[in-house]
Amino acid sequence: MVMAQALFKSLKQEHPQATIDVLAPAWTRAILQRMPEVTEAIVMPVGHGELGLGKRLKLGRELKRQAYDQAIVLPNSFKSALVPRFAGIPLRTGWRGEARGWLLNDCRTLDKEAYPLMVERFVALAYPAQSRLPHPFPQPALSINENHEALLSKLDLDSDRPVIVFCPGAEFGPAKKWPENYFAEVADVLIREGRQVWLLGSDNDRQSCEAILDQLAEPEQAHCRNLAGLTSIGEAVDLLSLAALVLSNDSGLMHVAAALGKKLVVIYGSTSPDFTPPLTDKVAILRLDLPCSPCFQRECPLGHLDCLRKLQASTVTDTIGKLLEQNEA
């Protein structure tokens, strides 16, 4: 969802008076509320993978009263194009896919070589078909809550030491997760150098974050906090904004950190930055480019996870040190 902000910004540049409402899953609402370009986040009442034809028809009829001029459909699925058709929106734009040409009347054929990045495919839909994509195009930039004191108090945190945030989770699967013991090695070095480490993620990441914490000696544990599952998405955004640097797998929080302009070290395993890179120039991307990677699989098909395990903690620590020195220069 973060990358979609580049589309919203492009639309605002082309149509400054436009009202942009976004229909998306409920969990994205907190992110959309941090995008000044978005007027309203409308919750999609149908779960992922569910057809829910009756619910989509009901929602379409409700949205018809809003008299929207255009719908831009980002997912390539058939069912994602149903609501705009049910809502009678006169211009329905999207990429061709899943035999949905009769649902979209501005249905475009994607040239993957012309638009290799996902964000380019989003932004291109802001302009008429066959238009040349402007470069550079707008980058995501999330707003934050400047009053952090209440949040820090709620979570019993302080900013006495410089904050390094780790995002060790990856909802996609284990083939994107750098080993927990390596995260712990990096945390140990950073804490001994006088910093503190916050571990962020969803409730699904709590066990992984706890494993990182458990591998630290007791004195270092005092400066490392497992916050996975304890924050809302909006609170996670605000905590990331306090970081001097973020270390992350290829994940949603990585894109959030990039949209906050944070110094960022990103580890890629089974996936590739050639398709969904962090949209920032304050980034160091670490990947091994083994013959077997990227494989784009959720689990390592060879069972060894070499694309992650062979990336040593010392390499990551050195990269973080160099970025932090740039930050202090």
Q: Which CATH number characterizes residue 49's domain?
A: 3.40.50.2000
DSSP category for residue 315: H
In a domain, residue 209? The reply is yes
Q: Which domain holds residue 317?
A: 158-328
What confidence tier does 327 reach under pLDDT thresholds 50, 70, 90? low
Q: Are residues 119 and 204 in the same domain?
A: no
For 261, other C-beta atoms within 10 Å of its C-beta total 15
82 and 204 assigned to the same domain: no
Beta-strand (E) ranges in 206-244?
224-226
Phi-psi region of 283 (alpha: psi -120 to 50; beta: other; left: phi over 0): beta
**What average pLDDT score do residues 260-285 get?**
92
Residue 130 lies in a domain: no
Q: Within 13 Å of residue 231, how many CA atoms lie on the same side as its CB?
A: 27
The pLDDT of 164-180, averaged and rounded, is 86
Sequence-ordered list of residues with C-beta below 8 angstroms from that of 301, at least 6 positions apart, any chain: 295
User: What is the Cα gyration radius of the chain?
Assistant: 21
- The yes-or-no verdict on residue 172 having pLDDT over 80 is no
Does residue 190 register a pLDDT over 50? Answer: yes
SS3 95: strand
- pLDDT attached to residue 159: 87
Q: By percentage, how much of the chain surpasses pLDDT 70?
A: 99
Residues 111 and 173 in one domain: no
Q: Has residue 329 got a pLDDT over 70?
A: no
Residue 151 lies in a domain: no
Residue 328 binned pLDDT confidence (cut-offs 50, 70, 90): low
Residue 220 tokens read as 């270092």
Do residues 120 and 171 share a domain?
no
Does residue 320 share a domain with residue 191? yes
Q: Do residues 167 and 41 both lie within one domain?
A: no
Q: Is residue 312 part of a domain?
A: yes
* Spatial contact of 175 and 297, defined as CB atoms under 8 Å apart: yes
Examine the domain organization and report whether 114 and 163 are in the same domain. no
Q: Is residue 10 over pLDDT 50?
A: yes
Are the beta carbons of 253 and 236 closer than 8 angstroms? yes
pLDDT at residue 299 is higher than 90: no
Condensed to tens digits (0 to 9), the pLDDT of residues 109-150 reads: 999 999 999 999 999 999 999 888 888 889 999 999 888 899
* Residue 293 near residue 270, CB atoms below 8 Å: yes
For 279-283, 295-299, 322-326, which range has the lowest pLDDT when averaged over its residues?
295-299
Taking residues 252-256, report their average pLDDT.
94
- Cis peptide leading into residue 16 (ω within 30°): no
My answer on whether 315 and 218 are in the same domain is yes
